[in-house]
Amino acid sequence: MKKIFFTPGPSQIFPTIPKHLKEALRKDILSLSHRSSRFKKIFYKTVDDLRQLLNIPKSHHIFFLSSGTEVMERVIENCVEKHSFHFVNGGFSQRFFETAIELKKVPFRHQVAWGDGFDFDKVEINKKTELICVTQNETSTGVALDKKDIVLLKKNHPDKLLAVDIVSSAPYVNIDYSFADLVFFSVQKGFGLPAGLAVLIVSPEAIEKSKYLINKGVNVGSYHNFINLLKYADKGQTPETPNVLAIYLLGQVIKDMFKLGIRNIRKAIEKKANILYNFFEESNLYRPFIKQSRFRSKTVIVVEVKNGSSNIIKKLTNKGYIVGNGYQKFKDKQIRIANFPAHSLASVKQLLVYFKKYERQKNL
């Protein structure tokens, strides 16, 4: 049975990945030295194409790391001497906050209930804050923050660095990088790749903060500190032996996305999200977890299930449709459905056929 993964990451691979894997084997990509001229060409081309796809300005640097979780650590190390400020409304924004604590910083936190968004204008940011951390798309709950609100947050606090987690919304979300200092995502979600690679986009101001901390004798990490990453990126390299295959695959998928058109990709995601939310809003068995539509994620749809989600998840799995459990305390109460570029409209419609079927069975 062919399976379709609607899990929020790792998720369904992009349809062209099998072809690109065969090509990678044929071209000996898996054996390339990360110091070779061939790898440098792959590095530069992937960076240039990513810059074009996401409209990243030339002023910002692009680094490759291992995971979104690692990026959180590197961001705190390189941009915070003592105080960061975290908007927390779910598991991954909480992880960002806890990372600062584990690195012996003294972070501030504005916390709301899981499933809620933020009114940034009503939140007072402590004056000692060096870095503001925002999870634009909270994968654990399906809350998405409007990019316009994030821009206003930066405009209202121009003296502070701003980090934005778009791990489960890239490449859908259209970030204005001129109002963000650190933006990051991992490839196993919206780009439909196997796990094992993250991308960090860094402003000149964040680079300067890292230099400042180094000059003060603050520990900013070892091989993956920003200055070392920049030194090697300028040469088309990484400090360590990287996931060469993942960087190659990312470059190939970006080319595929060029053919589809990023506007068309974003429109398709919105269309699928509307179909999903409309169905769950009219259902007697399921309902969207996020009550305010302005905070509903287009890429991670979270629904509550009356009397629990476990049986429905098992039935969907038996049909080859793999959806995500609720996160942590919501594990047996919710279902999380990924809506990434790799998910076709036809597969979404078929998924809903089974949701309807199980709802009718419940009503008998």
Residue 192 pLDDT class (50, 70, 90 cuts) = very high
- CA–CA distance, 101 with 83 (Å, rounded to integer): 10
- Give me the amino acid identity at 183: V
Between CA 356 and CA 283 the distance in angstroms is: 9
Give the helix/strand (H/E) hosting 64.
strand 61-65
> Same domain for 265 and 226?
no
Residues 269 and 195 in one domain: no
Residue 316 · residue 322 · CB < 8 Å: yes
The tokens describing 58, both together, are 């030339």
The pLDDT mean for the chain works out to 97
199 and 133 co-located in one domain:
yes
Nearest CA among 155, 232, 173, 161 for reference residue 203: 161
What domain range is 341 assigned to? 4-11+261-363
Which of 235, 258, 281 terminates a domain? The answer is 258
Question: What's the pLDDT score for residue 40?
Answer: 98
pLDDT tens for residues 320-345? 999 999 999 999 999 999 999 999 99
The answer, yes or no, to whether residue 136 has pLDDT greater than 50, is yes
Percent of the chain with pLDDT over 70: 99
pLDDT of residue 363: 61
Q: Are residues 305 and 348 in the same domain?
A: yes
Q: What local confidence, expressed as pLDDT, does residue 1 receive?
A: 82
pLDDT band at 364 (very low <50, low <70, confident <90, very high): very low
Do 240 and 125 belong together in one domain?
yes
Paired strand residues for 135: 165
Q: Buried b vs exposed e over 42-72: b needs ≥16 C-beta within 10 Å?
A: bbebbbebbbebbebeeebbbbbbbbbebbb
Q: For strand 286-288 and strand 198-202, is the pairing parallel, antiparallel, or unpaired?
A: unpaired
Per residue in 64-81, pLDDT (tens digit) is 999 999 999 999 999 999
Measured distance CA(188)–CA(17) in Å, rounded: 12
- pLDDT value, residue 361: 85
Coil, strand or helix: which one is 290? coil
How many domains in the chain?
A: 2
346-359 mean pLDDT: 96
From 240, 258, 276, the end of a domain falls on 258
Range of lowest pLDDT (39-43, 275-279, 284-288, 360-364) = 360-364
Same domain, 63 and 210: yes
Which of helix, strand or coil describes residue 164? strand
Q: What is the mean pLDDT of residues 29-57?
A: 98
Pairing of strands 143-144, 161-165: unpaired
**Model pTM score:** 0.97
What does the pLDDT look like over 101-121, one tens digit per residue?
999 999 999 999 999 999 999
Residue 27 sits in a domain whose CATH number is 3.40.640.10
Q: What span, in angstroms and rounded, lies between the C-alpha atoms of 183 and 71?
A: 10
Shared domain check, 337 and 197? no
